[in-house]
Chains A and B, each alone.
Chain A
Amino acid sequence: MKPTLLHRYATFVTAMTGILIFAGGLVTSTNSGLSVPDWPLSYGTAFPPMIGGIRFEHTHRLIAGTVGVLTLVLAIAVWRAESRRWMKGLGLAALLAVVAQAVLGGLTVIYLLPAWISVTHACLAQTFFSLVASIALFTSNEWREGRVEPCEYAGSLRRLLITTTAFAWLQLVAGAIVRHTGRGLRWHFALAFLIALHILFIVLKSARDKSTRERLFPHAVLLGGLVTTQIFLGFGSFIFTRMLKAEIPTTGEVLFTTAHQTLGAMILAGTALLALRSYRLLAAPPSASRSAVPARGSLV
């Protein structure tokens, strides 16, 4: 497979994974997780009547199956087309992750939504999304051929981005715990504040220098927009789930909570990709490269 085609395909798989995360969010938001009591079949068939909660749960299963096949093809394509050994490893990791995710999905049904399995299922979903998005980045023209520019604050920007990615991942765990157990809202709020603050610093920092202004700044601004929207969605979700507390989830609640969850996945992936791009596109000055921060092209 040609590199360009592989990149396009990886981007397509990433987009499909985003849709899958949204579909999974709908299952949780509509409380439809156990509307189909058996797994892997649904009421003993591959195509049950698409009524009530089954519409959400079975659609999620169908998209998940599709993403599973797409990931298998991606892993094979990466294995065959890539000369970089770590890329082959990433393809394999994506395949193992999607299989593990399917098993976790089945276990949630069989064991009637135990919180720790549901939380793990949610966390692995978004981690997988970031992983596939990274494969799309690593196969892109920018990664393969992008020019490297010196940046005097590359080190501090990278540290900031790594920290923010770590916070975004912890936020994913905190959000999943809130969603599936109702606990840990304080941590979720605290992490939201930290992430928003860090993204603001990233935007400001990436606007400072010509080396980052052209390529990283728009990405950072996009992240800033996503985080702003996410805070709005988070407050909306809080109002719907904690203050209004409808017996049967309303359309507003379903849309807010699902969008909040999906945007969380996009912020995590977006932050991780920006961190990776900072390693690929920026070169730390000699004084900085002597520190613990890797120099340019360390992942190429």
Chain B
Amino acid sequence: MKTRFLLVLTLGLFALSSPAHALTGSVKLDGAAPAPETISADADPTCKAVHPDGITNDQVIVGANGELKNVFVYVKEGVTGKFEAPKESVVFDQKGCQYSPKVFGIQTGQTLEIVNSDSTLHNVHALPKNSKEFNLGMPVQNMKLKKKFDKPEVMVKIKCEVHPWMGAWAGVLDHPFFAVSGDDGKFDIKNLPPGQYVIEAWHEKYGTQTQNVTVTDQPQDITFTFKAA
């Protein structure tokens, strides 16, 4: 009995001390980014007050050294097992007549909390092909609504027909191994078990790229480079 207890304790401690296998990387844009377009916000006085000179198209956001933001990076193939949806919600805000975040990942069955922080109204129209499409009116400031996606889908378009410049993308997966590149173009997919995977990077304008990656106990860093059209 004592031996069995010590064995369980040892294994437990080993599991706790085992490093989380991180797959990190960065996304770059090779070439000049398109000149930012400005879209008039005159159609809504509230939006115009926030953006008197118009809203800059946020489809392509690139850093000084080509770091590409808002790229959804995820494990496309190689994940085994089932993963419970996290209890915490993904918060999706409408603020300053723009979506925040513009690109995000969410697990199937996980709650998407949609918030309207604006003093103007919005409609939130999600256009999944695999899950149920929805179009919700959010006429009141600080109003919150909750929705879920049932089936995996990369990517789901979300838009506002009141303000046609507002567009966002959700990567819906049945596992938690995904990330979105930040301002520095970097991403970090946490807790990925060792194994062989196909990693895909998706960008709204530049499409997709894939890489075969073998994850080991050692941290691994990969780079995706999209060519500017």
Could you say which of A38, A52, A112, A248 contacts B162, with CB atoms under 8 Å apart?
Answer: A52
| Complex-state Cα separation, A35 to B137, whole angstroms | 8
With A43-B139, A48-B139 given, is the CB distance from A36 to B123 under 8 Å? yes
**A3-40 vs B: 1/0 string, CB under 8 Å?**
00000000000000000000000000011111111100
Inter-subunit contact B123/A35 (CB<8 Å): yes
Give Cα A54–Cα B138 distance, bound, in whole angstroms.
Answer: 13
Q: Does A55 reach chain B (CB closer than 8 Å)?
A: yes
Q: Bound complex: CA of A52 vs CA of B133, how far in Å?
A: 22
Residues of A215-253 whose CB lies within 8 A of B: 247-249
- Whether B161 contacts A33 by the Cβ 8 Å rule is yes
CA A171 to CA B45, docked complex, whole Å: 40
Contact of B139 among A44, A52, A53 (CB under 8 A): A44
Indicate which residue in B44, B59, B121, B133 contacts A112 across the interface (CB closer than 8 Å): B133
Check if B120 sits within 8 Å of A49, measured CB to CB.
Answer: yes
The size of the chain A interface, using a CB distance under 8 A, is 22
Chain B residues with CB under 8 Å of A32's CB are 161
Which of B43, B57, B135, B136 is close to A52, meaning CB atoms less than 8 Å apart?
B43
A49 surroundings in chain B (CB, below 8 A): 120-121
Which residues of chain A from 49 to 63 have a CB within 8 Å of any chain B CB?
A: 49, 51-55
Is B164 in contact with A34, judged by CB distance below 8 angstroms? no
A44 vs B138: C-alpha distance when bound (angstroms): 11
Q: Which of B63-119 contact A (CB under 8 A)?
A: none
In the complex, A43 Cα to B57 Cα: how many Å?
28
**B136–A37 contact, CB under 8 A?**
yes
Partner pick for B121 among A34, A43, A55, A248, CB 8 A cutoff: A43
Task: Give the contacting residue for A38; candidates B44, B125, B137; CB below 8 A.
Answer: B137
What is the 8 Å Cβ interface bit string for chain B, positions 121-152, against chain A (1 contact, 0 not)?
Answer: 10101000000010111010000000000000
Task: Report which residue of A43, A44, A55 has the largest number of chain B beta carbons within 10 angstroms of its beta carbon.
Answer: A43
Chain A residues near B164 (CB-CB < 8 A): 30-31, 52-53, 248-249
Inter-chain contacts of B165 with A (CB < 8 A): 248
- Chain A contacts of B175 at CB under 8 A? none
| Docked pose: A37 CA to B57 CA in angstroms | 25
For A33, list chain B residues within 8 Å (CB): 161
Bound Cα distance from A32 to B165, whole angstroms: 12
Q: Which residues of B contact A248 (CB under 8 A)?
A: 39, 164-165
Considering the chains assembled together, what is the distance between the CA atoms of A290 and B19 in angstroms? 97
Chain A residue nearest to B123 (CB atoms) is A37
Contact B137 A52 (CB under 8 A): no
Give the Cβ gap from B61 to chain A, nearest Cβ, in Å: 15
B157: Cβ under 8 A from any A Cβ: no
Closest Cβ–Cβ distance, residue A112 to chain B (whole Å)? 5
In the complex, B163 has a CB within 8 A of chain A: yes
Nearest chain A CB to B132 CB, angstrom units: 10
In whole angstroms, how far apart are the Cα atoms of A247 and B111 in the complex?
A: 29
CA distance A30 to B44 in the complex (A): 15
Smallest beta-carbon distance B158→chain A, Å: 12
- Interfacial chain B residues near A44, Cβ < 8 Å: 137, 139
| Minimal Cβ-Cβ distance residue in A for B161 | A35
Provide the bound-state CA to CA distance between A249 and B43, in Å: 14
Give B43's nearest chain A residue, CB to CB. Answer: A52
Contact of A37 among B120, B135, B163 (CB under 8 A): B135
A34 touches B135 (CB 8 A): yes
Residues of B within 8 A of A54 (CB): 121, 162
* Min CB–CB distance A73 → chain B (angstroms): 33
B-chain residues with CB within 8 Å of residue A38 when the two chains form the complex: 137
Would you call A37 and B39 a contact (CB within 8 A)? no
Identity of the chain A residue whose Cβ is nearest the Cβ of B39 in the assembled complex:
A248
CB distance from B203 to the nearest CB of A (A): 15
Q: A37-B123, A44-B139, A48-B139 are in contact. Are A31 and B161 (CB under 8 A)?
A: yes
Q: Mark A234-278, 1 if CB is under 8 A from B, else 0.
A: 000000000000011100000000000000000000000000000
7 of the cross-chain contacts (CB-CB < 8 Å) are A32-B161, A35-B161, A37-B125, A37-B137, A49-B121, A51-B44, A54-B121
Apart from A37-B123, A37-B135, A53-B43: 7 A-B pairs, beta carbons within 8 A: A31-B161, A35-B123, A35-B161, A37-B136, A52-B164, A53-B161, A53-B162
